[in-house]
Structure formats: C-alpha cells, structure tokens
Amino acid sequence: MKSMLTNRQKEIASMLLNCEKPLLYRELADKCSVSLRTIKSDMKEVKYWFKKHQVDLQSQPVKGLWITNLNEKEKMKIYHKLLLETVDEEIWGEEGRIRRIVLLLSLHPSKYITAEFLADQLLVSKQTIYKDMKKVEKHLAENNITLKMLPRKGYTIAGEEVDIRQHAEYLLTYKIVIEESYRPEIYLKFKEELTSFSPDMKKVVLLIDEILMKSIKQSLVEYHPASVKIFTLFTRLVISVCRVTKENAIQLGRNNDEIDMSMSTFAMFVYAVANDVFEHFNLEITNDEFIYIYRNALLNNHNEDLIEMTNNIIHYVSRRLSIPFYNDSTLQTNLLSHFSNKFTEENAILLENNPFMEDLKTKHDYLYHPVKTACEKYIESHNFTSEMISSFVTLHFLVSMETTFENKKPLKALYVCASGRGVARVIKNRVEKEVPRIRIIQYCGLDDLEEIMEKDTFDIIISVFPIETAIPTIWVDPVPSESNIKELKNKVSELTGDNQVIAQQIINKGESNIDDPEEYSRAVILEAMELYLGIKQAFKGRIKHKMEDAFLMHVFLMVHRIKFRMEYDHLVNTSFIETEDYRKVDEVFKKQGLQANADEKKAILFYIEKEEASCGKGYHY
C-alpha cells in the first residue's frame, strides 16, 4: 500500500468523514464521476490511510461504508490531517479529465487514440472513459469540432484547423493570467504539465524547450525566458509541431507565398527558432505555419471594418441599457484602439485572461451580458473566445459609465454605533461595497452625535439606534442585513433621483500597501473580521456550541493563509454536488471579494451545525 493518497482518494475520505449516514460504493462513484471499479480500487488506499490514523471504517455489503469511533472534535482533527496530506499523484475530476482528453486528441502525435490509452494516462477505468467521451463529444461540438470514433482504431477529431488550434490554446492557458507568465515558476509549471500528458508529448515538449532556451542564450538581443513573448512562442511551437506531426498543417488562405525577410528583430528570432525546431523533427515549415507561430493569425481578419464594428457594439449596448454611450468619444477611441491591437498587431500574445471576469459576470451582469451579445453579433471572427473579448470590452464600458454617466458626487454618510469604534471600519467596507453611491466619512457614538453634526454636514445617517433628526436616517442592525442594504439602496435612489442604483465598482483587493507592514496587517485583520461577521450573519444560531472561539480563530488564520498564498492544497479535483450551506459560504466569500479554493470554504462547514436531512443529499460535510 502507498503512504499517500491521490486527490480523488482524499475526496472520498473527506466524504466518509463528513457524512453520518453510510455511503454506498455506487454513491461514491457517482459523486466522483468515475466507475464502480475505480472507486473500489481507490477504497483500498483510503482504508489503509484510515487504519494508519486509527480511524474505524466499517462496511457492510448492503448498508455501505461509515465511520464509527470519532466525535466532532476528533473528526475535525483528522480532516485537517487530510487537508495537509501530500498528494502522491495527479488525479483529475470529470472537468479536468475532459480538458486533458480534448488536449490529447488535439496534440498527441497519434492520429487515433484508444479508450485504453486514455484510461492509462488518466488513471481511471475504461468504463469511466466511455462515460467521459459523451461529454467530450458535446464539449467539442460547442467549439465547432467533431469527435469521431472508428472501430479497432479509436477516437480522433475533425474540424477547421484554426478552430482546433484556437481551442487548444484556450484549454492550455485559460487558467493562467498572462501577466503571471513573467514569473519563471509559471513557465516551469506550464512546461511540467505539458510533459505529463504522455511520453510522446514529453519528448516533443522537452526538445522544443531545449532548442528555445539555447537560442535565447545565443541571441544577440536579450530575451527573458519567462516573458509573455517567449511563453507565447513556446506554446505555439508545441501546438504547431504536434499538429503538423499529425498531418494537420494550418492553411490560412493567404496569397503571400514567401516570408517577408524585412521583419523585426524578434520576428527573425522566431523564424530561426521555428526553422531549427521543425528541422529537428524532420518537418517542413510553411509560410502559414510561421504566420501562426509568430503573428496573431487566428484573430486577424483583414475584412473586418473595425470602425463600423466599434460603432455597432456601442449603439447596441446603448439601446439595451438606455444609456447614450455613443456620446462618449473617449469610449469610441479606446474601444477602437483595443480592437485594432487585437486584430492587427504582430506577435500578438495568447488571449489574455481577464482577472476581473468573474466580478464582471456577477457584480456587473447588467452590463456584461448586453456587451457579450453585441460582441457575438458584430465581431465576424468566430475564433475569439467570446467570454474573454466580452470581459475586456465590458471594462471599457464600465470606465465610461463611471467617468461620463456616473459622475455625481457620492452621498456623505455618518455611521452611528455604540462607541464609534469597534467594527465600524468593517461596516463601512460592507456598506460601501453594497451601495457604491454612499461614502461613510465619519463614525460616532450617541454621546458624540450632536457635536459631530455641528462640525460637518451629511446627506444620510446610518444608525444602529433609532434616532430622530432632520437628516434622512436608516436604522440598521449591528451587522447590516440584506433588508437593511435594500432599504439603503432605495433611500439612495430616492435622494439621487436615480431610477436604479448602478452596481458596485470592482474592488481591487490589492490596493493595500504591502510595503507598510502595519497598514497591511490592519487591512488583513479588518478583512478577516468582515468575513467572520458575514458568515455568522449567514448562519445565525448555527455556529457549534463551545466552538465560537475556535471558529473566530479559524477564520482569521484562514484569511492570513489566503493573503499570503498558503491555502490548503486543492482537495476537490473531483466533482461534487454543493449543499445549500456550502453555497451560503461561497456567497459570503463572493460578497467580500475574497478568492479562496473550495477546501478553505468547506473547512468552514465543520463549525456549522447540520440541518436535518442534510446528509445523503449531495456532498456532505
């Protein structure tokens, strides 16, 4: 037996720890999206791990599997050991397997790939692969690619070469914020993942990397090995070689038969490296292959009328939102410049990931969705990932809204609480995030209220006490509830004359000055307190008895881990059905603008009393 668990085995152990009702092998297989045979194989390692940690795991053929000898405190202790357990090997959940299957179909040198080969590479049974292939087929169809299966040969894909390469680029890089490719460890981690797909792909990746790094050292111009340019070049070289090896050369339909030798210095560097790489693999590099490797060929559409496209998108969004964006000349200029760069620039980097995408889709959905529809309607190139381009275009509209159409001064607010201190800063953060037209500029207690109001003027007062004053006042709970926030929004709408309150601005959590340790520590503490109060509010009366202090400590240490990038290792690589309580925790994190993995959120649930019938319905804690 092995001494360490895989990610999926850790997930199985976690489910058994967190459910008081016995679980059948079939239930575990369904939750992990694998076959019964795979689960039974995994359970041998899980049982050994439990035995090593003196956990009594019982099993009966009809009843299932369950743990008997642990109280809540002991369960929590074992669970934390499980979270800290080193992963023995990479195991992918259903989503991760589908991604790797598509990439293997796209890039593995063999024209056909068997279910047996995929099962060996992904460490699952063939039955699991057969089930996965139905979802792979659907995934590919959504991206204009067809999955084909030939008896005694295996699976292959067909479609426009541009579509296949574009999707391969997206799957390889969509989780990497492109600016982070400057960090050497990102490039190394990316290369390591590529080498893990199969032994044949490993040879290709390592040889390309060796040639590229050698060329960088010999170049007269200094190129940073982990720069965006080199990262993009490396990725496209791998894709190009893999596709040409499979006899799928790209054809861009261009008339230029010869490569223009009056190119930039970097273009000449790319040409030399590409020639060297293709020569090592005994492949011929065509003009179109070079254009793909060097330029933004996938996005370049010479027939695109960028001015007309820009105006169409602006007018469409203006009509949908009844906001005259077409009167903002700065928006038109910035958007046209953005499209010009994306459609015409040479040596274009891979599609950048927008780190604000999820914020835009959730907090600014009223703007994001019309923009996305407009982009899909008026951008002729179908090779864009619509979410990517739409998120960047939405940012331009958001800037226009905030500078041109949302230029009224915010309302000055006074916050009245017991002492004017305590968690006032936390409340300020919460209110200003939820109601962006309010700025709390002063705090005070009841004793100081009269004096403060004589010294300054306020548009609105937010108070935890019922007070009488000529200034509009909203009476709120010590931790403002959803109904309090709604009442505040309505009052702001009434005072400003707006028919609707525009959603909040994107909060940049990175604004704290990390160079000032005292200020940064204060910001971390305040954020932890805000999260603690938010979770307490979401689970009123359900924090476990005699564990309130431990819960408070856990939240503060968790925020510290998140801020200093020391989170628990990802446990949930397999899919799981979220419970209502998990969704509540996730919603609190989203409201706080705090990014954390699922393990950190699930750990919170150990401090929450379970509601009746919560076990046996989806994922359990």
pLDDT for the residue numbered 244: 95
Please tell me whether residues 447 and 519 are part of one structural domain: no
- Identify the pLDDT of residue 472: 92
Percent of the chain's residues with pLDDT above 90: 17
In this prediction, residue 122 carries a pLDDT of: 85
Domain check: are 345 and 396 in the same one?
yes
Q: Tokens at residue 43, please?
A: 């359970």
The answer to whether residue 286 is domain-embedded is: no
- Global pTM? 0.52
Based on the structure, what is the number of domains in the chain? 4
pLDDT digits (tens, 9 = 90+) for 525-576: 878 888 888 888 888 888 887 788 888 888 888 888 887 766 554 443 444 5
Which of 442, 468, 496 represents a domain boundary (last residue)?
A: 496
What is the reported pLDDT for 179? 47
pLDDT at 443: 82
What's the pLDDT score for residue 88? 45
Mean pLDDT of 195-221: 90
Cα–Cα distance for residue pair 560/244, rounded to 1 Å: 48
Mean pLDDT value of segment 252-269: 62
Tens of pLDDT, residue by residue over 474-513, are 988 877 778 888 898 888 888 877 544 443 333 333 344 4
For residue 32, give its domain range.
Answer: 7-83
pLDDT of residue 176: 63
Q: How sure is the predictor about 418, in pLDDT bands with cuts at 50, 70 and 90?
A: low
Distance separating alpha carbons of residues 561 and 568, to the nearest angstrom: 8
**Token couple for 576:** 């799981």
What pLDDT is stored for residue 530 in this prediction?
81
CB 408 within 8 A of CB 373: no
| Residue 84 structure tokens | 């800290």
d(CA 353, CA 174): 6
Residues 71 and 16 in one domain: yes
Show the tokens assigned to 110: 């063999």
pLDDT band for 614, please (50, 70, 90 cuts).
Answer: very low
Q: What is the pLDDT of residue 506?
A: 34
Q: Tell me: the pLDDT tens digits for 2-61?
A: 556 777 888 888 888 888 788 999 889 888 878 888 888 889 888 888 888 888 888 888
**Residue at 256 is within a domain:** no
Instruction: Give the pLDDT score at 157.
Output: 96
- The CATH number of residue 454's host domain is 3.40.50.2300
Residues 479 and 528 in one domain: no
105 within a domain of the structure (yes/no): no
Residue 608's nearest CA partner among 547, 531, 527 is 547
Better pLDDT: 26 or 388:
26
**Residue range 374-400: mean pLDDT, rounded:** 77
Q: Are 55 and 76 in contact (CB under 8 A)?
A: no
**pLDDT at 266 > cutoff 60:** yes
Last residue of a domain, one of 363, 379, 405: 405
Query: In this predicted model, what pLDDT tens digit does every residue of 319-372 receive, in sequence order?
Result: 887 778 888 888 888 888 877 766 654 444 455 556 666 677 766 777 888 898
pLDDT for 455 equals: 82
Cα(147)–Cα(138) distance, integer angstroms: 9
CA distances from 436 to 195, 428, 431, 503 (A): 47, 11, 8, 7
Find the radius of gyration of the CA atoms of the chain: 28
Q: Which helix (H) or strand (E) holds 206?
A: helix 199-218
- Sign, CA dihedral 48-570-238-144, equals positive
The two structure tokens encoding residue 370: 């019309």
Q: Are residues 380 and 415 in the same domain?
A: no
Same domain, 68 and 26: yes
The whole-angstrom separation of Cα 5 and Cα 88 is 6
**What would the two tokens of residue 457 be?**
């003027």
Which residue's structure tokens are 């996965």? 132
Domain shared by 15 and 55, yes or no: yes
What value does the mean pLDDT take over residues 174-178? Answer: 58
Do residues 313 and 401 both lie within one domain? yes
Q: Is residue 387 part of a domain?
A: yes
pLDDT at 207: 95
Judged against a pLDDT cut of 50, whether residue 584 lies above it is answered with yes
Q: What angle do CA 435, 437, 442 make, to 5 degrees?
A: 90
Give the count of alpha carbons within 13 A of 138, CB side only.
6
Nearest residue to 128 via CA among 137, 120, 119:
119
> Residue 59: what are its φ and ψ, rounded to 5°?
-150, 145
Residue 172 lies inside a defined structural domain of this protein = no
Query: On the CB side of 559, how many CA atoms lie within 13 Å of its CA?
Result: 23
Average pLDDT, the chain: 78
What is the secondary structure of 544-607 as a DSSP string?
PTT-HHHHHHHHHHHHHHHHTT-PPPP---S--PPPHHHHHHHHHHHHHT----HHHHHHHGGG
Return the beta strands (E) in 436-476 as ranges: 438-444, 460-463, 473-475
In a domain? residue 279:
no
User: Does the pLDDT of residue 296 top 70, yes or no?
Assistant: no
Query: Which one of 52, 83, 114 terminates a domain?
Result: 83
Same domain? For 419 and 484 the reply is yes
**Which residues, in sequence order, are CB contacts of 370 under 8 Å at separation 6+?**
316, 317, 320, 321
Is 39 in the same domain as 74? yes
Question: Which among 605, 503, 485 is positioned nearest to 555, based on CA atoms?
Answer: 605
507 in a structural domain? no
Is 473 a domain residue? yes
Residues 467 and 554 reside in one and the same domain: no
First to last CA, the chain: 27
Question: Binning pLDDT at 50, 70 and 90, where does residue 298 land?
Answer: very low
Token representation of residue 247: 């006899």
